[in-house]
Amino acid sequence: MSKEKMMADQIAERIGGLTNTSKVYNCMTRVRIDLNDPSQVDVEALKAIDGVLGVVEDGNNLQIIVGPGASTKVATALNDLRGVSHTEQIQENLDPELTQSNDVSQRAASNKADFKAKQKDNGFKRFTRIIASIFVPLIPAFVGAGIIGGIASIIQNLITSGNISAENWGQILLVLKIIQSGLFAYLNIYVGINAAKVFGATEGLGGVVAGVIYLTGMAPEAPLMNIFSGQPLSPGQGGIIGVIFAVYLLSIVEKWLRKVIPNSLDIIVTPTIALLITGLITIFLIMPLAGVISTSLVGTVNKVLEVGGAVAGFILGATFLPLVMFGLHQILTPVHIEMISSTGATNLLPILAMAGAGQVGAAIALWIKARKNQQLASMIKGALPVGILGIGEPLIYAVTLPLGRPFITACLGGGVGGAVIGALGNIGATAIGPSGVALIPLIANGRWLGYVFGLLAAYAGGFVLTYLFGVPHEATLATELHGSSSNLDVNEMLNNL
């Protein structure tokens, strides 16, 4: 029997049997199980299974972290036991650090899972998970289209400055812009489909409702009017925020209709009435209101950055890591997208990216001062490369957060970098997804050098503050690589903060 099948047998035994499952599927690193009765799960016994790196309880959804590759095999084995021939996979990587096969991956995943398991669930956290579920599948598209758009901008600038000729490069520029627009021109529809999946509506209907916001077919000389202002409605007004509201409304209407419409008429009546009701409300109510919200939100953020400058940058850069730690940073994703849609770039993302850079500086300081602690040094060596590339979870959960003080000095280091970005001003990113060094190709309008200055300032700030004030005495004690180390368990970690 393979290891994955053995794990499946043990998991089934510890979750109250297969009759306690309504659905088993997987993402890149986790086996996800929808439970009928979560109280039957023995979480501690699950964690003790060989190969299980952590367990996250999320209401009726149980997430068992087993790592890339193994998640697919274990989920398939569980479904084989359930008599289900197809295992659904979602392309979501909540544990990017597990792509690195070293000790720090397991330590970070375990600490992260334990920490999140101790958090109390509430409506706001559930909302952030919904936002994450809608946008995470689109992040690769944002990155790819954003980089292509950045290359197109460089070519456009070179043509404008006369360094290259439009005759030779014009067609290349056109092709790149066409590829880029494949995402951004129809972004509402992609978001609508994902939102429908999350809210439990028909995905195709979600895409259609999102497409309504483009007001396709409306003649400019005979526009529909905003019932509040009396001004013509603009195609795309309300943007992503309007799409999410509209598809949520669609899910409510569709679920209600399916309860009252006879099965024989459902395929015809339900989608027709659902689209008609939701479409009318979207055009005449959601679009005007969401338009005000999105415009005000983008304007407020840009105004704060413009007026606040270095102070605003410091506060945002210093407070972003705690948001990441509690998983609340996903709430900012629609804000970034609205800023990109409205102005061509998000000036917020480069500042927030400084938080991860502060961690890199803090980790280097720890590495130097605690070099006798071989186990801690090993953790840092494993986490630093991905931290520099903008993947911060290994440094958070395996290095700085368990030690307490380095986490605080890392946050302050991020604030230093944020202050530099804020002081320079007008440094934005054309897409969301990466941070750290990986964000450099996405910096808009050739302002990448200012972003690099911010990174270096955050590295230096995190390093100096941690070196002087952030290294606990126990972290400097000599340990063997596999001996007891100064890395604290999760309970001690929480007490230190």
Same domain for 260 and 326, yes or no, is: no
**Containing H/E element for 58?**
strand 54-58
Q: What percent of the chain is modeled with pLDDT above 90?
A: 33
What confidence score (pLDDT) does residue 231 get?
83
The residue type of 236 is G
Cα 47 from Cα 175, distance rounded (Å): 51
What confidence score (pLDDT) does residue 317 get?
92
Domain presence at residue 308: no
Q: Give the ranges where 326-432 is alpha helix by DSSP (H).
A: 333-343, 348-352, 354-369, 374-388, 393-395, 401-403, 405-424
Q: Judging by beta carbons within 10 Å of its beta carbon (0-12, 13-18, 19+), is residue 361 exposed, middle or buried?
A: buried
Domain presence at residue 162: yes
What confidence score (pLDDT) does residue 108 get?
58
- Taking the whole predicted model, whether its pTM rises above 0.85 is answered as no
Same domain for 483 and 343, yes or no, is: yes
DSSP at 224: P
Could you tell me if 377 and 370 are in contact, meaning their C-beta atoms sit under 8 angstroms apart? yes
Same domain for 373 and 426, yes or no, is: yes
Model confidence band, residue 2 (pLDDT cutoffs 50, 70, 90): confident
What confidence score (pLDDT) does residue 470 get?
87
What confidence score (pLDDT) does residue 180 get?
83
Q: Largest alpha-carbon pair distance within the chain?
A: 77
**Domain holding 68: CATH number?**
3.30.1360.60
Same domain for 444 and 402, yes or no, is: yes
Model confidence band, residue 483 (pLDDT cutoffs 50, 70, 90): very low
260, 295, 330 — which closes off a domain? 295
Same domain for 139 and 280, yes or no, is: yes
Same domain for 334 and 432, yes or no, is: yes
Count up the domains in the chain and report the number: 3
What confidence score (pLDDT) does residue 481 get?
46
Q: What is the mean pLDDT of the chain?
A: 83
Model confidence band, residue 396 (pLDDT cutoffs 50, 70, 90): confident
Question: Per-residue pLDDT tens for 64-76?
Answer: 988 877 888 899 9
Q: Which candidate in 15, 24, 27, 380 is catalytic?
A: 27
Q: What percent of the chain is modeled with pLDDT above 70?
A: 86
Domain presence at residue 108: no
241, 261, 295 — which closes off a domain? 295
Domain that holds residue 137: 126-295
Domain presence at residue 334: yes
Same domain for 417 and 471, yes or no, is: yes
Residue 158 C-alpha from the chain's centroid: 34
The predicted model gives 248-257 an average pLDDT of: 94
Residue 359 C-alpha from the chain's centroid: 18
13, 48, 82 — which closes off a domain? 82
The answer to whether 411 is a known catalytic residue is no
The predicted model gives 17-37 an average pLDDT of: 88
Model confidence band, residue 327 (pLDDT cutoffs 50, 70, 90): low
Would you state the structure tokens that stand for residue 27, as one six-digit string?
A: 């993402």
Same domain for 489 and 343, yes or no, is: yes
3-state secondary structure of 488: coil
What confidence score (pLDDT) does residue 113 get?
59
Cα 254 from Cα 200, distance rounded (Å): 9
Same domain for 368 and 419, yes or no, is: yes
Same domain for 190 and 266, yes or no, is: yes
Question: Per-residue pLDDT tens for 181-219?
Answer: 888 788 889 999 999 988 989 999 999 999 999 998 888
Could you tell me if 448 and 440 are in contact, meaning their C-beta atoms sit under 8 angstroms apart? yes
The Cα-based distances of 296 to 244, 289, 434, 444 in angstroms read 17, 11, 26, 22
Q: Using the predicted structure, report yes or no on whether residue 450 has a pLDDT greater than 80.
A: yes
Spatial CB neighbours of 475, under 8 Å, sequence gap ≥ 6: 366, 369, 370, 373, 376, 403, 406, 486
Cα 287 from Cα 237, distance rounded (Å): 6
User: CA angle 23-131-93, nearest 5°?
Assistant: 60
Cα 392 from Cα 494, distance rounded (Å): 19
Question: Per-residue pLDDT tens for 83-115?
Answer: 887 677 665 555 554 544 445 555 555 555 555
Question: Of 302-311, 355-364, 378-387, which range is least confident?
Answer: 378-387
The predicted model gives 224-239 an average pLDDT of: 83
Could you tell me if 31 and 78 are in contact, meaning their C-beta atoms sit under 8 angstroms apart? yes
The predicted model gives 309-319 an average pLDDT of: 92
Domain presence at residue 236: yes
Cα 240 from Cα 324, distance rounded (Å): 22
Phi and psi at residue 65, to the nearest 5°? -80, 120
Residues found in the chain:
497
Higher pLDDT pick, 488 / 455: 455
DSSP at 481: T
Domain presence at residue 134: yes
Spatial CB neighbours of 374, under 8 Å, sequence gap ≥ 6: 478, 479, 480, 481, 483
Same domain for 479 and 345, yes or no, is: yes
What confidence score (pLDDT) does residue 490 get?
38
What confidence score (pLDDT) does residue 142 get?
77
Q: How many CB atoms lie within 10 A of CB 230?
A: 7
The predicted model gives 1-20 an average pLDDT of: 90
Cα 406 from Cα 389, distance rounded (Å): 20
Q: Using the predicted structure, report yes or no on whether residue 30 has a pLDDT greater than 90.
A: no
Domain presence at residue 389: yes
Same domain for 377 and 430, yes or no, is: yes
Domain presence at residue 311: no
